Amino acid sequence: MEETISLKEIFALLKKRMLMILSLIVSFAAIALILSYFLITPTYTAKASVVVNQEENVDVSALNTAIQSNISLINTYKIVMTSPVILDEVAKEMNLSLSSTEIAEKLEVTSEADTQIITVTATDTNQAKAAELANTTVNVFQNEIPELMNLENVKPLSLAETEDNPSPASPNILLNTAIAIVLGAMIGIGLAFLLEYLDNTVKTENDIEKKIGIPVIGSISHMSEEDLVTNKQYQTTAQRRNVRRDYNGQKKKTV
pLDDT band at 167 (very low <50, low <70, confident <90, very high): confident
pLDDT digits (tens, 9 = 90+) for 36-88: 988 999 999 999 999 887 655 555 445 556 566 667 788 889 999 999 999 99
Q: Residue 64 is which amino acid?
A: N
What is the distance, to the nearest Å, from the Cα of residue 79 to the centroid of all Cα atoms in its chain?
A: 33
Kindly give the pairing relationship between strand 107-111 and strand 44-52.
unpaired
The CATH code of the domain that includes 87 is: 3.30.70.1130
Domain membership of residue 93 as a residue range: 44-158
pLDDT digits (tens, 9 = 90+) for 196-235: 888 777 666 666 666 666 676 666 666 666 655 555 555 5
User: Same domain for 134 and 198?
Assistant: no
Asked if residue 164 belongs to a domain, the reply is: no
Domain count, the chain: 3
**Among 43, 38, 36, 37, which Cα is nearest to 126's?**
43
